[in-house]
Chain A
Amino acid sequence: MKKLKVYFCCGHETVVKRVYCPTCGTDGISEREVEDKGRIYSFTKIHVPPSEFAHLAPYYVALVQLDGTNAKVTARMTEDIAIGDKVELFNVEDGAYVYKKA
């Protein structure tokens, strides 16, 4: 399965890549691969989507707390979920991380 990358500097880890670190101001931001597994930190079920996602609705968008890092990733899911559920990356579709229950 695909690995996710996180970017870290000054104790902060995130899946979002920056040019400079907002804390120390340098470009010394490191990256590492992390497990694609995690737990649902929070979620919503979207009933009213923008037109480009109309064919998928209703769908869930979840914020996943990744294992082994303090970074989180935003994922799309189709199963019913609750905060704390274990999930894992299933696929990357058109730039979106699609997760399934583990």
Chain B
Amino acid sequence: MTTNTYIHGIGMTKFGTHVDRTLKELLLDASRQALEDAGRPKVDAVFVGNFLAGSMSNQEILGAIVANDLGLGFVPTAKVEGACASGGIALRQAVLAVMSGEHDTVLVAGVEKMKHAKTAEVTQAINAAMDTDSSEKSAGLTFPGFFGVLANRYFHETGASKKHLAMVALKNRENAMNNSLAQFTKETSLDEIMNARMITDPLGLFDCSPMTDGAAALVISRKPSGIHIKASSLVSGPTQMQDAADLLSIPAIGESGRHAYEKAGLGPEDIDVVEIHDCFSMTEMIAIEELGFFPRLEGWKAVEKGLTKASGEKPVNTSGGLLSRGHPIGATGLAQIYQLVRQLRGDAANQVEGARIALAQNLGGTGSYSAVHILERV
């Protein structure tokens, strides 16, 4: 079933390091941009996507802060947590709130501030998205580590190598170079990516999304606009690597994609432009397979042929993706939508000519959550 919910406004801060701006300032900046882009409608509810503000900034009540500081009045608000999928899940809750008939117009915002902390502290805080009561977390597995284990097996079973992961990272950097809101816009090369410092074998620095400060926001409504949210889906999946039936599959991505295609009455072949959750280069490889864009265990061939470049037949992450646009965790799912709305409006960085149908996929944990939204220019 389609949502009959429309996007009216989008907002996004620059992603990167915001030493002089607080979490709240970033959140309010993106929210204000979205409200003004939407023509300052009356807002009936607010959902905020965030993962680390409690543990790293000692800040909760984000929903109430947005409503209060934007002067929205006595409206219902909530913070939504789903690790790196927090933003996508917040959007889905907002869509459901409109679909239910309870609200006409909802503000959805996502934010994260991470750059003030040390890498080890951030890695530790992010590990809250693993099952703490598991032998796997006790073994010292990390999120990059999970995708490193997956990558080594993927190499073992296919003809892929570290070079193919580097091609994903290079493509996303090339896209980010045209996106003024992206965190990394400096030119790089396959050579630099291949020889970068190792984080978790075989993933090097460029294969891993960075720590990022930033916020993004949307205004959605039952009132029609030029951008229809054709489908919204969300599933939970395995929470531990050692419990996966197939290490080379992230079933939450595949299932959320199938649900969204079914609701939209579309298939992977109908999608003109895609933002997927490339928290690691390896994740993008698996996701383009799980979402049905390329056959299983053959994503690397598509990457080698350049099919996922902005100029390719299935443009993936024209924003630069998490790898180069940046990954302020709670904002990521909404930054994906920001880029896709720009694509459908026709004024995006790395504009895909005539884009009409767009898909965003937002992952939480190692496959614990996956949210998919399909947008249509109407």
Contact = CB atoms under 8 A, between A and B. Distances in A.
Nearest to A49: B140
Nearest to B241: A74
Interface in B101-153: 119-121, 123-124, 126-127, 134-136, 138-142, 144-145, 148-153
B1 interface: no
Given A48-B123, A54-B120, A63-B242, A43 B149 contact: yes
Q: Among the interface residues B141, B202, B245, B247, which one has the most CB atoms of the partner chain A within 10 A?
A: B141
Contacts of B185: none
A48 B240 contact: no
Contacts of B36: none
B200 interface: yes
B149 A44 contact: yes
B242 A14 contact: yes
Interface string A1-14: 00000000000101
A41 interface: yes
Contact of B124 (A14, A15, A51, A72): A51
Interface in A52-102: 52-54, 56, 59, 61-63, 71-76, 83, 94-98
B156 interface: yes
Contact of A56 (B126, B140, B151): B140
Contact of B139 (A51, A54, A97): A97
A96 to B, nearest CB: 4
A30 to B, nearest CB: 17
A42 B243 contact: no
Q: Among the interface residues B150, B197, B201, which one has the most CB atoms of the partner chain A within 10 A?
A: B201
B123 A63 contact: no
B61 interface: no
Contacts of B142: 46, 48-50
A48 B243 CA distance: 24
Nearest to A57: B140
Contacts of B198: 45, 47
A63 B247 contact: yes
B123 A51 contact: yes
Nearest to B140: A53
B204 to A, nearest CB: 10
Interface of A: 12, 14-16, 41-54, 56, 59, 61-63, 71-76, 83, 94-98
B70 interface: no
A74 to B, nearest CB: 4
B65 interface: no
Contacts, number: 111
Interface residues of B, number: 38
Given A16-B134, A48-B142, A53-B140, 7 more contacts: A16-B242, A44-B145, A63-B241, A72-B244, A72-B247, A73-B135, A74-B141
B378 interface: no
A74 B202 CA distance: 18
Contacts of A74: 135-136, 139, 141, 240-242
B127 to A, nearest CB: 5
B75 interface: no
A15 B243 contact: yes
B199 to A, nearest CB: 5
Contacts of A53: 140
A41 B153 contact: yes
B135 A83 contact: no
Interface string B230-244: 000000000011111
Contacts of B140: 46, 49-50, 53, 56, 59, 61, 76, 96
A14 B152 CA distance: 22
Contact of A42 (B119, B120, B141, B153): B153
Contact of A97 (B135, B202, B243, B244): B135
A63 B202 CA distance: 15
A38 to B, nearest CB: 12
Given A46-B140, A56-B140, A41 B247 contact: yes
A43 B152 contact: yes
Contacts of A98: 139
